[in-house]
Amino acid sequence: MSEFLAPPIAAPLPDVDTERLHLRRFRADDLDGLAAVFAHSEVWQFPYGRALTREDTAQFLDNQIREWDTCEFGCWIAVHRETRRIIGYVGLSVPMFLPEILPAVEVGWRFDPTYWGQGFATEGARAALREAFDTLQLDEVTSVPQVDNTRSCQVCDRLGMRLSREVHLPGNARRGAVTGALYLMSRDEWRAQTAPRPAS
Ligand SMILES: CC(C)(COP(=O)(O)OP(=O)(O)OC[C@H]1O[C@@H](n2cnc3c(N)ncnc32)[C@H](O)[C@@H]1OP(=O)(O)O)[C@@H](O)C(=O)NCCC(=O)NCCS
């Protein structure tokens, strides 16, 4: 269903290497690595306030693989290039949890706490924004952290996203209603702060 709620895209999201991260489509054999990351309760403090079980993670992974197949974009698994370890995910998704802004694309992230404080989320998210504007040719990308998720709001600030307003995120089967901070970035805003991609 999310394909009807995503804006049209000019081309699918490719896999990407940044300075320190290999960012690629999720695969079924990512389960062990991802379950180890999601076993840290801090990773899912927002919105669930608890770690994810292996079964929860398997469901998450299935959903991600299906979303990619449907939309031709999604979140990437983030592999630390130096150690080849799975350290989180970052990328693009349709923010189904906020119907009032659809169709839309959100940039989002979750990383193993061992790797916080080193700029990995910002590095991966910059790559996602670049692909969103240059490859998918989107006009706008959003991000909607909970207002009390300070670290996530700081990633949005670091990316140069614009805080638009607070939004009510309706409750669902897995969490109560919460308040989100709606951040936006237009393609013009991205281009104003970014050097063009070098010609290959
Ligand atoms: C949100 C989350 C990814 C942010 O992680 P983070 O490490 O704070 O963010 P970054 O990877 O951008 O790193 C920024 C920090 O690294 C430092 N840093 C070091 N090298 C850096 C670099 N090359 N570039 C940018 N920052 C760098 C920054 O100074 C900053 O330090 P600080 O924490 O002392 O302020 C992490 O807290 C997380 O996974 N949380 C749980 C999941 C979650 O809530 N996701 C959001 C759901 S909406």
Q: Tell me, yes or no, whether 122 lies in a domain.
A: yes
How many domains does the chain contain in total? Answer: 1
Residue 23 lies in a domain: yes
CATH number at residue 71: 3.40.630.30
Round to whole Å and give the CA distance between 29 and 47.
Answer: 26
- Mutate which of 151, 157, 158 for ligand 1? The one with the most ligand atoms within 8 Å of its CB, which is 151
Residue 7 lies in a domain: yes
pLDDT at 174: 83
For the cut 80, the answer to whether the pLDDT of residue 118 exceeds it is yes
pLDDT of residue 1: 57
Give domain status of residue 22, yes or no.
Answer: yes
**Ligand 1 nearest-atom number relative to CA 146:** 48
- Fill in the DSSP letter of residue 146: B
**Given this model, what pLDDT does residue 3 score?**
62
Within a domain: residue 177?
no
* Residue labelled with tokens 């895209």: 9
Q: Which two tokens stand for residue 144?
A: 């909607």
Q: Is the pLDDT of residue 131 over 60?
A: yes
Q: What is the pLDDT of residue 200?
A: 63
pLDDT of residue 172: 86
pLDDT tops 70 at residue 2:
no
Distance 119 CA to ligand 1 centre (A): 5
pLDDT at 37 over 90: yes
Q: Is the pLDDT of residue 64 over 90?
A: yes
Residue 46 beta carbon below 6 angstroms from any ligand 1 atom: yes
Out of 10-19, 30-39, 153-162, 168-177, pick the least confident: 168-177
Pocket probe mutation, ligand 1, options 155, 161, 174, max atoms within 8 Å of Cβ: 155
Whether 166 is covered by a domain: the verdict is no
> Within a domain: residue 186?
no
Tell which residue, 181, 105, 94, 99, has the closest CA to residue 140.
105
pLDDT in the model for residue 167: 97
Return the percentage of the chain with pLDDT > 90, whole number.
89
Cis peptide before 198 (omega within 30 of 0): no
Instruction: Report the candidate in 123, 128, 122, 150 with the shortest Cα–Cα distance to residue 42.
Output: 150
Mean pLDDT for the chain? Answer: 95
The tens digit of pLDDT for each residue in 182-197 reads 999 999 999 999 876 6
Domain that holds residue 55: 2-139
Size of the chain, expressed as the number of residues it contains: 200
Instruction: Give pLDDT tens digits for 151-179.
Output: 999 999 999 999 999 999 988 888 889 99
Give a yes or no: residue 96 inside a domain: yes
Please write the tens of the pLDDT for every residue from 43-58. 999 999 999 999 999 9
Determine which helix (DSSP H) or strand (DSSP E) holds 184, and give its type and residue range: strand 178-186
